[in-house]
Structure formats: C-alpha cells, structure tokens
C-alpha cells in the first residue's frame, strides 16, 4: 500500500508541475490553482508514505520518477529537445534511483 501512496504522490507532483508550465508565471488562475493543489496533495501523500518508508528511499523514488517523467513530457509533448545527452541524463537519474533502492533493500 505504501507504494500506491507514493505513486499517487508522484502523479500529483507531475500534474502540478505540468500545470505550472501553463500558469504563465502564476498569472493564469486555473493552472495556478491546479499547481498549488497538486503540490499540496503531493506533499500530503509523501508525508503519509514517510510513516512506513525511509525518507531516503521515498524521496529518491519520488524525485527521480518525477524528474524522469517531466523530462519525457517536455520532450514528447512540449517540443523540448530530445538530444542523446538529455536522454542519457534521464537514464542516469533512473539508474541512480535503482541503485539507491538496491542499497535500501538490505
């Protein structure tokens, strides 16, 4: 169940960050509100996750997954460059999360 809560926190953070892109520097009401609510939900769910998961493991998964997905959204849907170096960077973030989780499993 803790991974479901963490996945929901990650999804909420991704939605909030995506909404922020459309808030135009917080000058547009609805995307700005979606950003604020999304981050509040994300942090509340992350806090619940931390009741039964170590902070290092939870934060590594939360930030790494969020970073990788937001980078992919930018490249696929928002017209950001998808250079080999950028893709390598995303893969390294994912590899770092995997390595941190392997160490935390012991």
Could you write out the DSSP letters of every residue in 74-103? HHHHS-----HHHHHHHHHHHHHHHHHHHH
Angle between helices 55-77 and 2-21 (to 10 degrees): 40
pLDDT band, very low/low/confident/very high, at 97 (cuts 50, 70, 90) = confident
pLDDT of residue 106: 41
CB atoms within 10 A of CB 77: 10
Mean model confidence pLDDT for the chain: 93
Secondary structure letter of residue 106 according to DSSP = -
Average pLDDT on 7-22 reads 97
Instruction: Write down the pTM of the prediction.
Output: 0.89
Summarize pLDDT for 55-84 with one digit per residue, the tens. 988 998 999 999 999 999 999 999 999 999
**Would you state the torsion angle of the CA atoms of residues 88, 89, 90, 96, taken in this order, to the nearest 10 degrees?**
110
pLDDT at position 104, please? 59
Per-residue pLDDT at 102: 80
């Amino acid at each position: 169940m803790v991974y479901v809560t963490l996945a929901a926190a990650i999804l909420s953070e991704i939605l909030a960050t995506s909404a922020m892109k459309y808030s135009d520097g917080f000058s547009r009401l609805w995307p700005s509100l979606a950003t604020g609510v999304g981050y509040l939900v994300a942090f509340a769910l992350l806090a619940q996750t931390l009741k039964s998961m170590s902070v290092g493991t939870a934060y590594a998964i939360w930030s790494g997954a969020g970073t990788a997905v937001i980078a992919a959204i930018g490249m696929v849907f928002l017209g950001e460059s998808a250079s080999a170096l950028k893709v390598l960077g995303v893969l390294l973030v994912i590899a770092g999360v995997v390595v941190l989780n392997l160490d935390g499993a012991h």
